[in-house]
């Protein structure tokens, strides 16, 4: 039994080490896909039409401008996720007092210790991470890949080489959103070229450009379909004010204190300033008036204290 446990721990360690090792490889892979797509759309398919003149040039210009706008927003959101710390527990952080906890700062996962959920008692116990040797704030979880506790952790994403947590979850959602729009646009733009591959008509272009266009279409179609499903899932999570990890753990605790309604749930991720909803940033006012954006405090339902677990 001891050897089995040691072997499992070693396998998990090797898996986490492998994920860390992906690092720059995944970033280069993303940039490689962007490069192939850019070459197929701008240099091969629509760039040459700019010199033709007339409506064809105007249509090509509109396509290229829209393509560059979505690509710019995609890369801005992507690197914001990559380089933004998801949120770590401050040094010497301690739980709130019992009085503050009774005023609404309750967490149904406070009794959770690495997988088990226990009913909350009147004197709730705070969670403690044995690996980090520190207390865990509400909605905080330990990431074995990063080797630390992450505030409001959603998951560790190999594509962004980072954890997705309280401080970069909005950026991750915008990355999904703009990736879906961009890949869908590219799929529609290259579809006529893809269909032409299977026709008897002669297709202009060199074998390398034709192969690049074919590859770009297949890649963007695959990403558009997969990201669409992922985006729909995260929209439902935002609507319920939960994370991927919490959605799994909520199955054991149907009462969820952080679901304040779709509007407030949305604002806890994207902020209250509408001008910042579609860009990977927050207004200074939102950061000042919304402590939940910092990942340590979360408002809960006023009547949740009176409910039993």
Chain center to CA of 141: 16
Distance CA 141, CA 149 (A): 5
Q: Which helix (H) or strand (E) holds 185?
A: helix 169-196
Among 268, 242, 239, smallest CA distance to 255 is for 242
Q: Which two tokens stand for residue 10?
A: 């070693």
Distance CA 77, CA 108 (A): 32
Among 269, 177, 160, 188, smallest CA distance to 228 is for 177
Distance CA 68, CA 189 (A): 14
Angle, alpha carbons 226-230-234 (nearest 5°): 170
- Whole-Å CA distances, 182 to 32, 97, 137, 175: 15, 48, 37, 10
Distance CA 178, CA 8 (A): 39
Query: What b-and-e string marks burial along 33-44, b requiring 16 or more CB atoms within 10 Å of the CB?
Result: beebbbbbbbeb
Q: Which two tokens stand for residue 32?
A: 């490689």
- Whole-Å CA distances, 245 to 91, 155, 166, 183, 276: 24, 7, 13, 28, 27
Those residues whose C-beta lies under 8 Å from the C-beta of residue 119, and which sit 6 or more positions away, are 111, 308, 309
Positions marked active-site: 157
């Amino acid at each position: 039994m001891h050897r089995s446990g040691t072997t499992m721990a070693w396998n998990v360690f090797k898996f986490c080490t492998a994920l860390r090792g992906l690092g720059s490889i995944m970033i280069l892979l993303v940039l490689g896909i962007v490069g192939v797509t850019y070459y197929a759309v701008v240099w091969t398919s629509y760039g040459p039409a700019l010199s033709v003149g007339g409506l064809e040039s105007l249509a090509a210009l509109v396509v290229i401008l829209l393509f560059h706008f979505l690509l710019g927003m995609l890369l801005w959101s992507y690197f914001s996720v990559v380089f933004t710390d998801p949120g770590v527990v401050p040094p010497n952080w301690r739980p709130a007092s019992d009085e503050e906890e009774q005023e609404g700062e309750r967490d149904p996962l406070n009794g959770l210790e690495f997988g088990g959920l226990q009913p909350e008692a009147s004197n709730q116990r705070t969670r403690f991470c044995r690996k980090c040797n520190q207390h865990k704030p509400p909605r905080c979880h330990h990431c074995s890949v990063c080797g630390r506790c992450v505030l409001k952790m959603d998951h560790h994403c190999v594509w962004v080489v980072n954890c997705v947590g309280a401080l970069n979850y909005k950026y991750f959602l915008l990355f999904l959103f703009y990736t879906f729009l961009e890949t869908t646009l590219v799929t529609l733009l290259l579809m006529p070229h893809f269909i032409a591959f299977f026709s008897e008509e002669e297709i202009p272009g060199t074998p390398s450009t034709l192969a690049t266009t074919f590859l770009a279409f297949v890649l963007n179609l695959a990403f558009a379909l997969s990201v669409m499903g992922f985006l729909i899932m995260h929209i439902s999570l935002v609507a319920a004010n939960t994370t991927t990890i919490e959605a799994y753990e909520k199955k054991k605790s149907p009462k969820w204190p952080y679901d304040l309604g779709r509007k407030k749930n949305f604002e806890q991720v994207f902020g209250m300033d509408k001008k910042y909803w579609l860009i990977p940033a927050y207004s200074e006012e939102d950061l000042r008036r919304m402590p939940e954006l910092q990942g340590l405090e979360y408002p809960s339902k006023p009547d949740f204290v009176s409910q039993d677990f």
